[in-house]
Amino acid sequence: MKQLVRALGAAAALALAAGAALAQAYPSQPLKWIVPYVAGGGTDNLARNLAEAMQADFGQPIIIDNRPGASTNIGVAAMMAAKPDGYTIMQAENAALLFNEHMFGKLPYNPASDFTYIGTIGRFPVALVVHPDFPAKTLAEFTAYAKANGDKLSYASPGNGSPHHMAMELFKQQAGLNITHVPYKGAAPAMTDVMGGQVPIMMLDLASGLPIIKSGKVRALAIALPQRASALPELPTFAELGLKGVNAYAFHGLIGPKGMPKEAVARLNAGLHKAMQSPKVVRLFADFGFEPMPGTPEDFYRTARAESERWGKVIAAAGVKLD
């Protein structure tokens, strides 16, 4: 009996030692960070700066792999095809986390069960903006004008199913408006036409739009957050102006394939939080109007699932389908 106890004790000690060695060894090779958008955009810029800070901490290269297309589903497919060993991760946002399961009739993954949730990065606030010559100068004036002229008005977005599109649909539902959606292929051409007055209305993320808001090339009327954005403290929220339900943003976090080792998830979460505090990333957040939301993997999962449920109702009411 004593020999059995000693044997079991030795086995337990070996298991603990193996677990400690795994935790110390990770990461022992380069990591791949999938970005489901083209290089050069706000998400890509954010990913590259975070990866640079994390690889200095990890002592391993982190390689950005841009996989754009199909409402981020191409990137998700590449991530899910990888081994769940902690060496392939993906920067996910509203599409993969919140929207696609409600917009696609046949989605080859379930975000509630097919991802490893690593950690929340934060959110890009969105603001309602208009061309400077637009007749309304306040949200109340905009709402009144849109109700009187809705059949003549249209708004721009970077594309069907984008956070900007859904933020505007949420506002329309809350305010009882009927404004036609004009989807573009990206934020840049949409902003160009808003600044030119061809399509004078847009829900604009601060990562892309903060410089043109501050320069006066567009007029911001309200921000879709529960509290004012630190990047534009003078801009009131929709809630302050009487529409408490207009809460929308581009939500970002790190995910990986289902079944990643807990040690790898914990190390990635800690490394992400450390990177978010680096001076270069803090400056980038401020320049982008990006609001960090550090938290545990469990926090990330709970927030994502609650937001998915909320947006599912908005998407159903708007009738948005992408297949």
Whether 162 shows a pLDDT value over 60: the answer reads yes
Share of the chain above pLDDT 90, in %: 77
User: Distance between alpha carbon 179 and the CA centroid of its chain, in Å?
Assistant: 25
pLDDT greater than 90 at residue 272: yes
Say if CB 70 and CB 160 are below 8 A apart: no
Whether pLDDT at 16 is above 60 = no
% residues pLDDT > 70 (the chain): 93
**Structure token digits, residue 123:** 């959110």
Give the per-residue pLDDT at 24: 57
Which residue segments constitute the domains of the chain, with CATH numbers given?
29-122+251-318 (3.40.190.150), 125-223 (3.40.190.10)
Asked whether the predicted pLDDT for residue 3 surpasses 50, the reply is: no
Number of Cβ atoms within 10 Å of the Cβ of 266: 16
Q: What is the mean pLDDT of residues 164-175?
A: 96
As a whole number, the mean pLDDT across the chain is 90
At 135, is the pLDDT very low, low, confident or very high (cuts 50, 70, 90)? Answer: very high
Asked whether the CA dihedral 36, 39, 42, 44 is positive or negative, the reply is: positive
Residue whose structure tokens are 């409600």: 102
Q: Which residues, other chains included, contact 308 with Cβ-Cβ below 8 Å and sequence gap of 6+?
A: 97, 98, 99, 101, 102, 111, 112
Q: Which of 3-7, 175-179, 221-225 has the lowest mean pLDDT?
A: 3-7
Mean pLDDT of 191-209: 93
CA 237 to chain centre: 20
Residue 4 has pLDDT above 90, yes or no: no
pTM of the predicted structure, to 2 decimals: 0.86
191-200 average pLDDT score: 96
Query: In Å, what is the CA distance from 50 to each residue of 78, 101, 219, 315?
Result: 21, 27, 31, 31
In the predicted model, is pLDDT for residue 93 greater than 90? yes
Lowest mean pLDDT among 110-119, 125-134, 222-231: 222-231
Of 11-15, 162-166, 189-193, the least confident: 11-15
Q: How far is CA 184 from the centre of its chain?
A: 19
82: left (phi over 0), alpha (psi -120 to 50) or beta: beta
